[in-house]
Structure 1
Amino acid sequence: MSDRYELFLTCPKGLEGLLAEEATALGLEETREHTSAIRGTADMETAYRLCLWSRLANRVLLVLKRFPMKDAEDLYHGVHDIEWADHLEPEGTLAVEFSGHGSGIDNTHFGALKVKDGIVDRLRTADGLRPSVDKLNPDLRVHLRLDRGEAILSLDLSGHSLHQRGYRLQQGAAPLKENLAAAILIRSGWPRIAAEGGALADPMCGVGTFLVEAAMIAADIAPNLKRERWGFSAWLGHVPAIWRKLHDEALERAQAGLAKPPLWIRGYEADPRLIQPGRNNVERAGLSEWIKIYQGEVATFEPRPDQNQTGLVICNPPYGERLGDEASLLYLYQNLGERLRQACLNWEAAVFTGAPDLGKRMGIRSHKQYAFWNGALPCKLLLIKVLPDQFVTGERRTPEQRQAEREQAAYDQTPDAPQERQYNKNGNPIKPAPAPVIEQPRLSEGGQMFANRLQKNVKALGKWVKREGIDCYRVYDADMPEYAMAIDLYHDWVHVQEYVAPKSIDPEKASIRMFDALAAIPQALGIDKSRVVVKRRERQSGTKQYERQSAQGKFNEVNEGGVKLLVNLTDYLDTGLFLDHRPMRMRIQREAAGKRFLNLYCYTATASVHAAKGGARSTTSVDLSKTYLDWARRNLSLNGFSDKNRLEQSDVMVWLEASRDEYDLIFIDPPTFSNSKRMEGVFDVQRDQVQLIDLAMARLAPGGVLYFSNNFRKFQLEETLVERYAVEEITQQTVDPDFARNGKIHRAWKITAR
């Protein structure tokens, strides 16, 4: 066999340049880049060194032969002509991988079978002995790549992909592959920082991939030192003496590296379920003295081991797939930016993200960006120098002010700075600086405009809110069409519902505006980011708006008109309290004294609680949902109303037809449309209004009042009802100032017998 070989090294897309640099440093010559691969020439020692030391490659392929092929027969003969006895015993095992198409082969499985047949037929003995296929742990892995009519036949020296180092047996939901993590560390300058004795912190470490790869780089540990089985282990061309020499050298280098004082490498993870798996991975890598993992949120992450230590903060925040995810991620990125500015002055930072727009929301500029791919997802690596002049804050400072800040920061970082008065280069005394005040990131122009509108709305409603003692109210409802959302305050929580933008709106622009608004909300309303809940409101059908969206089960207590009510801001599209019906509930409370109250389609029975508060003789609440009736029971119990307050689980129409009781005050707020499996038929408020109101009026006692309302914007009350009953539209009387901007929020009528 030849002393020099053509080698192909495959890698994740986007790492070709880095891999070429690494492979050249390890001895590969005539290096050229291809898509997701590089190639070059090397001797066997270099091929082994690449297998052992490459932190970036997936596979190291040794090319046996290139040959032209026009069809499957050419493929078979080209493979068969190789002297396979130099590579594999007749009783050995093999696995074949085939990539590419053309030359009459459009099925990779068929191509792999042809390659296998060529090898097996060449090695078949007279007594029928032949190699068998073993896809998991074969003696020989063969790879054939078909490229524009040329077949490139190679041996895979790696065996399993080189990114599988062996330490990560436990992983999180969306882990980075080890070689991609290593590439990000290299691009981030970690080898330089580590050589200078710098520290490394990952505030969202997951199961510790960045930490382990960083420690292996710092301790000079070959990434595949602990691999026991290789693609060349049973290859007849294997040269054990060369391999043992390289492996022993790598072992000595690792021992020497681990004998050095360990660098400060720390990981922090909010999810308690990942802490032990991460620590187990560190233990398997043999790096427990170098790496520590703690449980902690990004907002409390404190990377500095002491005042003089600097280094690299690196992380791969989640990207988010649903709108609610992205909204919460905005605050995650903002928290990360705040921690960098507060606790990591003079450090470097590297943020690997599939949502680079969110990276812009950190309040600190990146000085360099690199494009990467995480599988099929395009990503960006944002490199940041954590210095005051990179901060994007609300205050615009002059160059002189920035220079003074830098001088003060440099002084504060000096390890042996004496306590007596110090002077800057201009001879002026430097006053001891107070603890720095970290400002909020400066809002974008759109974000500031949105914040101004929110503050204006809050101010306009302020006197009314204070006078009425209102705890929950709407502060914004698509006042500016380009910011299409509704924002409600629930005491010290904010509930945001984004309306889906029309198809005519550019989705990217809509997303940017949403992020602008979300960034503005906490600042404008003075509410912590953790108390902002975001949902998307789309056109609903059936009972979708009542379906569970989450399962946190967290209830908040709010006050309205002297009663306490429970709201759930996370689990359902609606919160359990329709704010626009506040005036109707207050009217019911004022009129309920001594009356029998019936609440149809009662939802969480908030109107029933108000009726009981107003002195109702009894309340009856009817709804088909057990979930909401349980919620209603809790609302009533919270206010001490347990007796004389009946809850009925039933289809309202069926219940009314069966009921013979009389009521003095009835409230109906039906859904627009409902088709629950427990219902008899389908309810449509426009079609079924006459039957519903007739059935309810049959239960109304002489002199009684029925209030009917709904939120269907196209609803029209049937003329036949006006002819038979005394009907008064009271919509304007049932709309408070916080909903006055929306003339179609609901319509309401007072109906009595003639």
Structure 2
Amino acid sequence: MKFTATCPAGVELLVAGELKEFGAVNPQIDVGAVHWSGSLESVYRACLWSRFASRIFLQLAAFTVRNEDELYNEGRRIDWLKVFDVKATFAINTTLSGKTRINNNRYAGLKLKDAIADHFRDKLDERPSVQGQRPGVQLHLHLKEARDCDEATVYIDMSGESLHRRGYRMAGSIAPLKETLAAAIVALSGWQGKGPLLDPMCGSGTILIEAAMIAGDVAPGISRPWFGFFSWKGHQPELWDSLIEEAVSREEAGLDRHWPLLLGYDSDPRAVAAARKNILRAGLTDHIQIKQAELATLAPPEAEGTLVSNLPFGERLSEQEIVTRLYRALGRICKERFSDWRLAVFISNPDLTESFTLRWERRERLFNGPIACRLLCTSLAGQHETPFIWSLPENPQINPEAEDFVNRLKKNYTKLQKWVTREGITCYRLYDRDLPEFNFALDLYGKWFHLQEFAAPKTVSDEVAAKRLRLAQEGIQRLFGVRSDRIFVKRRERQRGAKQYERRGEQRKPKFQEVREGQAALLVNFTDYLDTGLFLDHRPLRQRIFDGAKGQRFLNLFGYTGSATVQAALGGAAETTTVDLSANYLDWARKNLALNGFAELRHHLVAADCVAWLRDCTDHFDLIFLDPPTFSNTKKENRVFDIQRDHRELLHLSMLRLAQGGVLLFSSNFRRFVLDEKLLEEYDVKDISAATIPQDFQRNAKIHHCWEFRLKE
């Protein structure tokens, strides 16, 4: 007997391997299919036990045809009375391969259907009925291009319907992974049924269920109520029943063995509920744990194991950008916390392979339906990230005209090194207009330098100012041995309204770099905006937010790029809300959250004018961060915001949203700002400005003002 098993492209070797175990003779691999000869038992075992095949076909006839009439005549010669009973229903599925002479698959199927009906009518004077949905017998016609004809093969579908339908999945997540492909992912990951298996984004739990069925020696088809061979006249019920009994015995024996830890997480409570329902239907509740958790909180349950996941892919370009940051978060978390584990991730966009910043040992080409995918596999041993530290070159050649500037820069760098090393700080101010002739501020962001030139007084000519800037750039390059493309220069002038937050230059896709602050990874932009997206002087404030956020409802007003929100989320905030009028900055915040492994289910991003939003808001928050601009225009509402004039109303509205026992952190970088004294009578107010000025900004103690506000008891 000749059989064919179809499967997703890339899984053929797995299918051939298991078919040999089922008794297949001489399996031959084709693209998306494996052909073999064997006994009836081999095909029964394939239907019952195959974890990777999609369908199993028994070949009924093979012949060549040149047109539809020959197809009809050859189809009519098949002894259909030996295949199925006239009372059984049937249906025909047709596929074409290459440039076949019969080029309409629907018409080809109709010709074979007519041949079958006429064959029965000739023999019995009656014909079987066609039924599209779950027919008694599912037939398959395959036409393949040949030299001067079409090669036709007629099969009966022994599986009846796709073998991925195991019978346990009732509730699926968005674009659920087929069970057969999930099993292939587990097998190709290198997991052998021993040691813990962790899926950090488990969706409806398919990967974990398939892994559990492997570990417990559970036949994938044992819960299916129907197979295509049930109405086939060659079916041997006694043989099938004996194989079912064997499968039941093996499953019972599997329940008594030692089970590995099978653990899944998902941030979406709907996915968690769906996974638990599917696990219950599969009878595996005692063997798989599902918990609701963010990727950011992922930690290894044991010292060694395998992490396997089908990752989200994002259909639109904007979603792909978020997915890219999410992949980066997973790669970083794995390197930092899973150093002795193996990792296998299934992605639907091969272009994002490098987003994880990992060295991949294997890249398996797989298909999820028509979508070309990759299964990326590696060992995480030795892939940890090491903090970048600048090593100053010995005896750099410095232009004498820049010596004072370079010496001060070196002195500041040396002085700050113990502090930044002890505190784990990688982004800090290195120079802040220390010398009148070099009127710059220089910030170090890991591997990048951000040099801000302040407008020179009128007594200094443009030529002299340009020369000093050039000397400063050259001095930084020589002192640190840094390439010129890692030094970004901005010119700072007095700004009005939202000008300092607006895009600079041509409207192209913003370019981001990743930096670290404490546990957070944050995106900065050195080229497209005047500010980088991370206010370094607020570092102690963000640390306060991190320290006080556990279990709190956090509100970030004028949220900018969401760096404070990320720190609150990492600190364990129960939920966060970030409000900003700029869609660009909210998108930036969204990327920052994804870069740290946070979804938006508990972290809400609201595009709105903060004052108007506060007037409509009815929620309460335990921790509020309020850092408004000094001045801004709201074009939509034709409203002008001035911090000195409007801060009292803004604080009143914000304090109405503060829960009893909560704290509001209010900050302003307006140097001449004066807090309305009436606020001191209405609320418990504490000036914490001095405590929130970091060491690297001590020369500029008025960089911001900051207060803690609490409701009076």
TM over 0.5: yes
SS at match of 2:451: helix
SS at match of 2:28: strand
Shift of 1:476: 6.7
Please say if 1:187 is aligned against 2:180.
Answer: no
Shift of 1:475: 8.4
Please say if 1:339 is aligned against 2:333.
Answer: yes
Query: Is the 8 Å Cα contact of residues 270 and 297 (structure 1) preserved in structure 2?
Result: yes
Query: Is the 8 Å Cα contact of residues 450 and 526 (structure 2) preserved in structure 1?
Result: no
Shift of 1:321: 2.5
Query: Is the 8 Å Cα contact of residues 90 and 129 (structure 1) preserved in structure 2?
Result: yes
For 1:604, the equivalent position in structure 2 comes to 637
The 1:137–1:355 alpha-carbon spacing in structure 2 relative to 1, beyond 3 Å, is closer
SS at match of 2:182: helix
Alignment of 1:382-531 (within 5 A): 382-387=376-381, 389-395=382-388, 455-457=450-452, 473-474=500-501, 477=504, 484=510, 527=563, 530=566
Shift of 1:386: 1.8
Query: Is the 8 Å Cα contact of residues 167 and 282 (structure 1) preserved in structure 2?
Result: yes
Query: Is the 8 Å Cα contact of residues 394 and 439 (structure 1) preserved in structure 2?
Result: no
Counterpart CA distance in 1 for 2:526 and 2:143 is 50
For 1:173, the equivalent position in structure 2 comes to 174
Please, which of 20, 23, 30 is the counterpart of residue 24 of structure 1? 20
Please, which of 46, 51, 57 is the counterpart of residue 50 of structure 1? 46
Shift of 1:554: 2.2
Where do 5+ consecutive residues of structure 1 fail to align? Answer: 398-435, 441-447, 500-513, 537-550, 569-578, 586-600, 616-633, 641-754
Which structure has the bigger radius of gyration?
1
Shift of 1:18: 2.2
Query: Is the 8 Å Cα contact of residues 57 and 156 (structure 2) preserved in structure 1?
Result: yes
The 1:495–1:262 alpha-carbon spacing in structure 2 relative to 1, beyond 3 Å, is closer
The 1:249–1:37 alpha-carbon spacing in structure 2 relative to 1, beyond 3 Å, is same
Please, which of 221, 225, 229 is the counterpart of residue 228 of structure 1? 225
- Of stretches 132-141 and 58-67 in structure 1, the one that deviates more from structure 2 is 132-141
For 1:736, the equivalent position in structure 2 comes to none
For 1:111, the equivalent position in structure 2 comes to 108
Deviation string for 1:721-752 (max 9, x for gaps)?
Answer: xxxxxxxxxxxxxxxxxxxxxxxxxxxxxxxx
Which amino acid in 1 is paired with 2:117?
V
SS at match of 1:189: coil
The 1:23–1:477 alpha-carbon spacing in structure 2 relative to 1, beyond 3 Å, is farther
Deviation string for 1:150-205 (max 9, x for gaps)?
Answer: 110111100110011111121111211111111111111122xx2xx301110000
Shift of 1:455: 3.2
SS at match of 1:261: coil
Please say if 1:40 is aligned against 2:36.
Answer: yes
Please say if 1:137 is aligned against 2:162.
Answer: no
The 1:164–1:205 alpha-carbon spacing in structure 2 relative to 1, beyond 3 Å, is same
For 1:156, the equivalent position in structure 2 comes to 157
Where do 5+ consecutive residues of structure 2 fail to align? Answer: 391-421, 427-442, 455-487, 514-519, 540-562, 567-577, 579-584, 590-602, 618-627, 656-713
The 1:311–1:611 alpha-carbon spacing in structure 2 relative to 1, beyond 3 Å, is closer
Query: Is the 8 Å Cα contact of residues 313 and 348 (structure 1) preserved in structure 2?
Result: yes
- Of stretches 311-320 and 150-159 in structure 1, the one that deviates more from structure 2 is 311-320
Deviation string for 1:272-329 (max 9, x for gaps)?
Answer: 111111100001111101111111100012231x4x4x22111111112333322322
After TM superposition, the score normalised by the length of structure 1 is: 0.58
SS at match of 1:95: strand
Which amino acid in 2 is paired with 1:534?
D
Please, which of 251, 274, 277 is the counterpart of residue 254 of structure 1? 251
For 1:100, the equivalent position in structure 2 comes to 96
Please, which of 366, 374, 378 is the counterpart of residue 380 of structure 1? 374
SS at match of 2:501: strand
Counterpart CA distance in 2 for 1:639 and 1:229 is 62
Please say if 1:534 is aligned against 2:587.
Answer: yes
Query: Is the 8 Å Cα contact of residues 496 and 632 (structure 2) preserved in structure 1?
Result: no
For 1:122, the equivalent position in structure 2 comes to 119
Shift of 1:108: 1.4
For 2:242, the equivalent position in structure 1 comes to 245
Deviation string for 1:241-273 (max 9, x for gaps)?
Answer: 211121111111111112223321011011111
SS at match of 1:22: helix
Please, which of 370, 390, 403 is the counterpart of residue 364 of structure 2? 370
- Give the percent of matched residue pairs that are identical in Structure 1 and Structure 2: 31
Shift of 1:493: 13
- Of stretches 467-476 and 77-86 in structure 1, the one that deviates more from structure 2 is 467-476
Query: Is the 8 Å Cα contact of residues 388 and 447 (structure 2) preserved in structure 1?
Result: no
For 1:554, the equivalent position in structure 2 comes to 606
For 2:203, the equivalent position in structure 1 comes to 206
Query: Is the 8 Å Cα contact of residues 90 and 125 (structure 1) preserved in structure 2?
Result: no
Deviation string for 1:326-364 (max 9, x for gaps)?
Answer: 232233122212332333231111111123454423343
The 1:190–1:289 alpha-carbon spacing in structure 2 relative to 1, beyond 3 Å, is same
Counterpart CA distance in 2 for 1:216 and 1:437 is 48
Counterpart CA distance in 1 for 2:387 and 2:9 is 39
After TM superposition, the score normalised by the length of structure 2 is: 0.61
SS at match of 2:5: strand
The 1:70–1:286 alpha-carbon spacing in structure 2 relative to 1, beyond 3 Å, is same
Which amino acid in 2 is paired with 1:386?
L
The one of the two structures with greater contact order (alpha-carbon pairs below 8 A, sep at least 6) is: 2
Query: Is the 8 Å Cα contact of residues 138 and 157 (structure 2) preserved in structure 1?
Result: yes
The 1:127–1:246 alpha-carbon spacing in structure 2 relative to 1, beyond 3 Å, is closer
Query: Is the 8 Å Cα contact of residues 6 and 63 (structure 1) preserved in structure 2?
Result: yes
Shift of 1:50: 0.8
Which amino acid in 1 is paired with 2:155?
S
Query: Is the 8 Å Cα contact of residues 494 and 533 (structure 1) preserved in structure 2?
Result: no
For 2:271, the equivalent position in structure 1 comes to 274
SS at match of 2:228: coil
For 1:743, the equivalent position in structure 2 comes to none
Shift of 1:464: 7.0
SS at match of 1:603: coil
The 1:438–1:44 alpha-carbon spacing in structure 2 relative to 1, beyond 3 Å, is farther
Counterpart CA distance in 2 for 1:53 and 1:107 is 35
The 1:342–1:529 alpha-carbon spacing in structure 2 relative to 1, beyond 3 Å, is farther
Counterpart CA distance in 2 for 1:483 and 1:451 is 23
The 1:498–1:317 alpha-carbon spacing in structure 2 relative to 1, beyond 3 Å, is farther
Which amino acid in 2 is paired with 1:314?
V
Counterpart CA distance in 2 for 1:135 and 1:324 is 40
SS at match of 1:174: coil
Shift of 1:603: 0.9
For 2:5, the equivalent position in structure 1 comes to 9
Which amino acid in 1 is paired with 2:5?
L
Which amino acid in 1 is paired with 2:334?
L
Which amino acid in 1 is paired with 2:313?
Y
Shift of 1:566: 10
Query: Is the 8 Å Cα contact of residues 478 and 486 (structure 1) preserved in structure 2?
Result: no
Deviation string for 1:467-526 (max 9, x for gaps)?
Answer: 9999994387359x9864699xxxx99999999xxxxxxxxxxxxxx9xx9xx9779997
Counterpart CA distance in 2 for 1:38 and 1:494 is 49
Which amino acid in 2 is paired with 1:477?
R
For 1:410, the equivalent position in structure 2 comes to none
For 1:717, the equivalent position in structure 2 comes to none
Query: Is the 8 Å Cα contact of residues 365 and 384 (structure 1) preserved in structure 2?
Result: yes
